[in-house]
Chains A and B, each alone.
Chain A
Amino acid sequence: MITEAQARSALDAVIDPELDEPITDLGFVRSLEVSGASVTVHLRLPTSFCSPNFAYLMASDAKDALSALPGAGEVAVFLDDHHDSDLINRGLAADAGYRGTFGDEAEDSLADLRAIFRRKAHTAAMERVLTALLRANRELREEDLHDVVLGDLPPGAATAALLRRREALGLDTAPSAFVLVDDDGNRYPRSEVPLRLRFARSIRISIDGNSHFCRGLLRTRYPESAADQSPVKEKVS
């Protein structure tokens, strides 16, 4: 037996990699039906042309998350109204995997794709806290961000989000760890700090912008989805 609440909270852990938000907050879960041990989920996306690798990734993550619930029986996940719906739904039903689903077009593994966006999510989270710090403290110069450590950050959603992104990348989360670091946790030379902050900002703007765009398009395509979307919690602009 599984409850609907359990199933929903399992889906909360499924993230749109490019937008760095749970599919439940984005309104991508169209329906969720729980009957005894079996679960049926329908997912919807902002356009029929949303990139199929991300679509497959979210749909297969949803299937994995639900199948991992204790007591789960049959789990069926369907992607609706996508130009690759048939292909993806067949692949999901057969547990064919990414390459088994897309054949020759899927040269790289999904792990690489996931890693790229995990790094971007970290960079964006880092920029959010540092820009907030600059705005809150006008004395602080960009170069000074070189020395800011996690313990200097004010508690709150943005700091918590950064810590989660660091954990996902296996980076140090101790209060003494430096905030402005590259994907491997290394510091940049002090002179490079303004440039690195700037580049991090463009990544953050991309992610935020894609999020605005996708949330808006989903509501345009499925007006009823507005009720399912949660406001973005940790993002500042």
Chain B
Amino acid sequence: MYTKDGESYFIVDAHIALWDARPENQRNIHGKQFIDCFYDYHRNLSPESEVWPYEDYLYQGGARLMKDLFEDGYVDHAIFQPAHLGAFYHNGFGQTEEAFALARANPDKLTYNHCWDPRLEQAGLDQLRRDAERFGLKGAKLYTAEWHGDSRGYKLDDPWSYRYLEAAQELGIRNIHIHKGPTIRPLDRDAFDVADVDKVATDFPEMNFVVEHCGLPRLEDFCWIATQEPNVHAGLAVAIPFIHTRPRYFAQIIGELLYWLDENRIQFSSDYALWTPRWLIERFVDFQIPEDMTEYAPLTTAQKKKILGLNTAAMYDIEVPAELRLPREEPQAAAVAR
């Protein structure tokens, strides 16, 4: 919980990781390039006081994660969204066992989402069924730009991908987070093209599709589909740190998302350990659209509460203490009748 100026906010960090990018886990030069790229994001977009030494950035471990998120970071609940990246790291980038153990030890604070790769075909599908049961999955993170053999990415509307989504739906995995954002190799088979989200959002109306990094670097394509598909949501990972280096640009992003999507479909995420949540939450609560940007309405406190936690809490059935909820929005007709 975060309190400022008499207002209290329930915070859900919708996208975190427990990764291991230490040299002994790097399979090849790409493993080093990948974490170096993340570290450049971190250095480029963080306030100077929040920049970590490189060594700390390679691996955090559970104790530090708990401290950064829940002791220092105001977070009430956080959701693991692991990327496997087996082509770059011996034991994967996201640390499944460690993260799951941590989530099991702190069920009120952590939710473990797992990942799958439809290019593993039947074997992966069988694994997904076992994983769903073992981890009690409510959601999954898909990294469509992941390398696999000669393939440098897949699409959500590939035939095997559909079979995985059908299985997920049947297993009660309703919340699908998709990495669409900067880095990695979009060649012609453009792994960041969000058109495939459009198709699956239509075909799986009971599932939620959270586009992480809200489609940046293709905000317009994302907004266009999100406007038409009510089950498409925007994750603010990588977009929200612009609040420090480029506040006017951040104002435009949030202004556009509120226009095209509405305030119920935007989720806060620190993308830990890319960034720590504390400063992002403080800045976001203090943030306001600059006055000369007359094309956008000012951000309201209720909108900030929804974005910082209430939207994700609703999606994941996370209980919110009564005093941190918003007053229920009564339909106009009912209010008049009373």
Residues of A within 8 A of B (CB): 18, 46-49, 51-53, 83-84, 102, 105-108, 131, 134-135, 198-199, 201-203, 205-206, 208-210, 212-213, 216-217, 219-221, 237
Residues of A near B245 (CB, < 8 A) are 212, 216
Once A208-B249, A209-B219 are accepted as A-B contacts, the answer to whether A201 and B256 lie under 8 Å apart by CB is yes
Once A205-B252, A209-B253, A212-B249 are accepted as A-B contacts, the answer to whether A49 and B188 lie under 8 Å apart by CB is no
Residues of B near A208 (CB, < 8 A) are 249, 252
Q: Is the CB of A52 within 8 A of B246?
A: no
B232 CB, min distance to chain A CBs, angstroms: 15
Q: Is the CB of A221 within 8 A of B40?
A: yes
Residue of A with least CB distance to B192: A51
Candidates B44, B219, B260; contact of A206 at CB < 8 Å = B219
Q: Is the CB of B219 within 8 A of A102?
A: no
> Please, how many angstroms separate the alpha-carbon atoms of A51 and B217 in the complex?
12
Once A53-B188, A213-B182 are accepted as A-B contacts, the answer to whether A47 and B40 lie under 8 Å apart by CB is yes
Candidates A51, A107, A216, A237; contact of B44 at CB < 8 Å = A216
The answer to the question of B287 belonging to the interface, with a C-beta cut-off of 8 Å to chain A, is no
Question: Contact string, B56-98, partner A, CB cutoff 8 A, digits 1/0?
Answer: 0000000000000000000000000000000000000000000
> Please, how many angstroms separate the alpha-carbon atoms of A206 and B183 in the complex?
15
The answer to the question of B187 belonging to the interface, with a C-beta cut-off of 8 Å to chain A, is yes
Residues of B within 8 A of A (CB): 29-30, 33-34, 36-37, 40-41, 43-45, 152, 182-189, 216-220, 223-224, 242, 245-246, 248-249, 252-253, 256, 259-260, 292, 294-295
B317 CB, min distance to chain A CBs, angstroms: 32
Q: Is the CB of B33 within 8 A of A49?
A: yes
Q: Is the CB of A83 within 8 A of B188?
A: no
Residue of B with least CB distance to A51: B186
Candidates B34, B43, B152, B253; contact of A220 at CB < 8 Å = B43
Candidates B37, B216, B248, B249; contact of A48 at CB < 8 Å = B37
Some 24 contacts from A to B, beta carbons below 8 A apart, are A48-B30, A49-B185, A83-B33, A102-B187, A105-B187, A106-B187, A106-B188, A202-B224, A202-B256, A205-B249, A205-B252, A205-B253, A206-B218, A209-B242, A209-B249, A210-B216, A210-B217, A212-B246, A216-B44, A217-B40, A219-B44, A220-B40, A220-B44, A237-B249
Residues of B near A201 (CB, < 8 A) are 252, 256, 295
Residues of A near B260 (CB, < 8 A) are 198, 202
Residues of B near A199 (CB, < 8 A) are 220, 223-224
Residue of A with least CB distance to B42: A220
Q: Is the CB of B183 within 8 A of A47?
A: yes
> Please, how many angstroms separate the alpha-carbon atoms of A18 and B192 in the complex?
14
* Interface of A, helix, strand, loop or mixed by DSSP: helix
Residues of B near A134 (CB, < 8 A) are 295
With A131-B295, A205-B219, A209-B246 known, 10 other A-B pairs at CB within 8 A are: A46-B40, A83-B185, A105-B152, A202-B223, A202-B260, A206-B218, A206-B220, A213-B216, A216-B44, A237-B248
B201 CB, min distance to chain A CBs, angstroms: 18
Residues of B near A102 (CB, < 8 A) are 187
Residues of B near A135 (CB, < 8 A) are 292, 294
Residue of B with least CB distance to A46: B40
Residue of A with least CB distance to B250: A209
Residues of B near A206 (CB, < 8 A) are 216-220
Q: Is the CB of B242 within 8 A of A212?
A: yes
> Please, how many angstroms separate the alpha-carbon atoms of A18 and B190 in the complex?
14
A144 CB, min distance to chain B CBs, angstroms: 15
Q: Is the CB of B256 within 8 A of A52?
A: no
Q: Is the CB of B242 within 8 A of A203?
A: no
Q: Is the CB of A52 within 8 A of B183?
A: no
Residues of A near B36 (CB, < 8 A) are 48
Residues of A near B294 (CB, < 8 A) are 135
A229 CB, min distance to chain B CBs, angstroms: 14
Q: Is the CB of B188 within 8 A of A205?
A: no
> Please, how many angstroms separate the alpha-carbon atoms of A212 and B41 in the complex?
12
Q: Which 5 A-B pairs have the closest CB atoms?
A: A202-B220, A48-B33, A220-B44, A206-B219, A107-B188
> Please, how many angstroms separate the alpha-carbon atoms of A48 and B185 in the complex?
10
Residue of A with least CB distance to B184: A49
Once A135-B294, A202-B223 are accepted as A-B contacts, the answer to whether A108 and B188 lie under 8 Å apart by CB is yes
Residues of A near B189 (CB, < 8 A) are 105, 107
Residues of B near A105 (CB, < 8 A) are 152, 187-189
Residues of A near B246 (CB, < 8 A) are 209, 212
Residues of B near A198 (CB, < 8 A) are 259-260
Q: Is the CB of B40 within 8 A of A52?
A: no
B93 CB, min distance to chain A CBs, angstroms: 14
Residue of A with least CB distance to B251: A237
Residues of B near A202 (CB, < 8 A) are 219-220, 223-224, 256, 260
Q: Is the CB of B45 within 8 A of A205?
A: no
Candidates B185, B249, B252; contact of A51 at CB < 8 Å = B185
> Please, how many angstroms separate the alpha-carbon atoms of A213 and B188 in the complex?
23
> Please, how many angstroms separate the alpha-carbon atoms of A53 and B187 in the complex?
6
